[in-house]
Structure 1
Amino acid sequence: MNPAEVAVLAALHPDNTLTAAQIQLSSTLTGWRIRNALAQLESRGLIIPSHPRGRWRITDRGRIAFTTKGSRFG
């Protein structure tokens, strides 16, 4: 997991449902890095799209990954 992915998980943890723009504001990463991290996290089942369209939320698997691996990025 890279720092951008950890930043996305941190923004969504514990149970936030946010748009990519909201995640970008909370993480200070570029839009490209956020979109790339969202795609990678979704492909691994750590986040899922939510309704209304364009919003994301963390899965139980994502919470576990953030708790165990996120601490490496402080």
Structure 2
Amino acid sequence: MTPAEIAVLATLHPDRTLTAPEIARAAPLTTWRTRNALSHLESRGLITPSRPRGRYRITPRGRAALATKSRRFAF
């Protein structure tokens, strides 16, 4: 898991629902790094798109991954 992916998970934790631009500002990451991280996290089931459209939410599996990996990246 990359530092950008950890930053996205940390931004969505514990139960925030945000758009990609909101995540990019809060993380802070570039638009490209944010969208790349979102794509990888979604493909692994660590985040899920939610309603309203264009928003993302962390899954229970994502919370578990964050708890495990965040110590390594000091989040």
User: How far apart are the structure 2 equivalents of 1:35 and 1:71?
Assistant: 23
Q: Please give the TM-score of this superposition, normalised by the length of structure 1.
A: 0.98
User: How far apart are the structure 1 equivalents of 2:12 and 2:46?
Assistant: 11
Amino acid at match of 2:33: R
Q: Please give the TM-score of this superposition, normalised by the length of structure 2.
A: 0.97
1:52 aligns with 2:52: yes
Query: Which residue of 1 is the match for residue 16 of structure 2?
Result: 16
User: How far apart are the structure 2 equivalents of 1:12 and 1:45?
Assistant: 14
User: How far apart are the structure 2 equivalents of 1:51 and 1:64?
Assistant: 23
User: How far apart are the structure 2 equivalents of 1:69 and 1:6?
Assistant: 7
Q: Percent identity?
A: 66
* Segments of 4+ moved more than 6 angstroms: none
Amino acid at match of 2:42: E
User: How far apart are the structure 1 equivalents of 2:15 and 2:59?
Assistant: 9
**Alignment: residue pair count:** 74
Query: Which residue of 2 is the match for residue 6 of structure 1?
Result: 6
Amino acid at match of 1:61: R
Shift in Å at residue 71 of structure 1? 1.3
User: How far apart are the structure 2 equivalents of 1:30 and 1:43?
Assistant: 20
Shift in Å at residue 30 of structure 1? 0.3
Query: Which residue of 2 is the match for residue 61 of structure 1?
Result: 61
